[in-house]
Structure 1
Amino acid sequence: MPASGARSLAVVEATRFRGHDPAYHAYVQLLVGSVIAEAEAQAWRVNRLAADEGRELLLARTEAADAVVIVGGEDIAPRFYGGSTGYPHESRHLEVADDAQLALVHRSIERGVPLLGICRGLQIVNVALGGTLLQDLGDHAGHVNRGVPIPEVLTTHPVLLEEGSLAQRLLGGSVVDVRSAHHQAVDVVGEGLVVTGRAPDGHVEAIEHRDAPVLAVQWHPEDRLAPAGQLAALLGALSAVPAAAVAA
């Protein structure tokens, strides 16, 4: 357990409850639980929050957070990036959660609060900064398994990391294997962001902010079959910015 004086980490998901899909709900609990367990092992005091409670409440509850993780979840509502509905494999949309997480990204960047985005979290970062999304990569893109039980939807593929990027330094190589389950990807890159990782097919897998302590990955380092140490390394980057350096 973290010490009482530990720094505060906000782990933010779109919603805590998915009663319409018990299998998906159960698997999300495993993924988010892995993030929390690793963060606590790194001595963070974790506050788990749901963005669908609204912008005002989320910003209030993260006011004193020393760092933020935005985890995976449903597709972002297309209106936030100028897209249309009716695309293949479209999930339900949680627009209140989208709005709240987008606002949280803006404030984190303004204040210099370290932020890690995972899967949907990467897309939230990109859209918050004016980027857009490819709405569906197709059934044969190799970024998600279709027609299998929920615990088997993640697939393994390599990611090519830019030399000298934060992601490359953290993960210790120019090519890393990752576990992913996404049918959308970055299209237009948001302002201030740099692409630092791509899949062999060219789709964006990692982005970093030029000036703010923001790193986001499209894959799931918290999956139980992810390479050992990958989640720990990415979470470890959140400790790189001293608390005193974070603007009040």
Structure 2
Amino acid sequence: MAPRLAVVEVTRHRPDRPAYHAKVQLLNATAVNAGAHGGWHVTRLAAADLTLVELLAATDDCDAIVIMGGEDLTPRFYGGGAGYEGETHHFEVADAGQIALVRRALDRGTPLLGICRGLQIINVALGGTLVQHIEEGIHRNVDVPIDEILREHPVQLLPGSTLIESLGETDIRVQSAHHQSVGRLGAGLVPAGIAPDGLVEAVEHESAPITGVQWHPEAPNSPADQLPLLLAALSSQLAEARVADQLAA
């Protein structure tokens, strides 16, 4: 039986922002398709369209989880204020549900990958904070149509990180489009990748199979093997966890 992967996006409904919604849906669908091609039985869920209880129930039997990108997190979850530059629409129900998924994954040892906003969810779920707006630079294109917002830049993966094992190299090229970044790291998290300007672009948990990348491996112009390799890492982490359970039994 194929292992079960939950791909959890923010929402399926953005009638007021059709161009942005179309872009996000394309990225989410790419992740779902990559999971299916990688041998997973994929369940696609929208956290804002379910209650927290419904989301936890729908993912209860999943073997691994991917939390996708989207809008800014509601500031109250990390002790921030409203009215900051570049602030987007917030989906508080999605934030609460995805934060709960991370905390349960940590408790259970469930492999979990966070992409862009997903990295920020991981950090906030474990008590970290966010920089609410970063200066214009290498991390996104500004004043362009949504289809042109993604920007390529290098990331250096840090020695000893599982991301080096997963991606097979230290210096990688990524596609990103974020205006927020990691502030204080959450409990148990360590940096795993750094951008040339010093921003943390990837995090890992020091003992749990939880990884977050600030870039978009599912973007059309990302290296073709980047997302498949990250999903394969979830499979490896799942296999290791099952072996450990058998040895402990």
Coarse TM-score class (shorter-chain normalised): over 0.9
**2:18 maps to 1:14:** no
Structure 1 runs (4+) greater than 4 angstroms displaced: none
Match among 74, 83, 87 for residue 86 of structure 1: 83
User: Letter of the aligned partner of 1:60 in structure 2?
Assistant: A
CA drift at 1:214: 0.6
Residue in structure 2 matched with residue 115 of structure 1 by the alignment: 112
- What is the correspondence of 1:1-248 to structure 2 with a 5 Å cutoff? 5-52=1-48, 53-138=50-135, 140-240=136-236, 241-242=238-239, 244=242
Partner Cα separation in structure 1 for residue 98 and residue 244 of structure 2: 19
Normalising by structure 1, we get a TM-score of 0.95
Partner Cα separation in structure 2 for residue 151 and residue 236 of structure 1: 28
CA contact (8 A) 1:113 1:246 kept: no
Identity %: 54
Normalising by structure 2, we get a TM-score of 0.95
Aligned length: 242
Write out per-residue CA displacement over residues 174-194 of structure 1, whole angstroms, 9 at most, x where no aligned residue. 111100000000010000001
- SS of residue matched to 2:20: helix
User: Letter of the aligned partner of 2:140 in structure 1?
Assistant: V
- SS of residue matched to 1:20: coil
Partner Cα separation in structure 1 for residue 182 and residue 116 of structure 2: 11
Flag structure 1 segments of 5+ consecutive residues without an equivalent. none
- SS of residue matched to 2:173: strand
Partner Cα separation in structure 2 for residue 135 and residue 58 of structure 1: 27
Partner Cα separation in structure 2 for residue 7 and residue 169 of structure 1: 22
Partner Cα separation in structure 2 for residue 8 and residue 246 of structure 1: 19
Partner Cα separation in structure 1 for residue 170 and residue 233 of structure 2: 18
Partner Cα separation in structure 1 for residue 146 and residue 172 of structure 2: 24
Partner Cα separation in structure 1 for residue 137 and residue 179 of structure 2: 8
Write out per-residue CA displacement over residues 174-222 of structure 1, whole angstroms, 9 at most, x where no aligned residue. 1111000000000100000010101011111000001111111000000
Partner Cα separation in structure 2 for residue 245 and residue 155 of structure 1: 40
- SS of residue matched to 2:56: helix
- SS of residue matched to 2:212: strand
Partner Cα separation in structure 2 for residue 246 and residue 178 of structure 1: 33
Flag structure 2 segments of 5+ consecutive residues without an equivalent. none
CA contact (8 A) 1:13 1:73 kept: yes
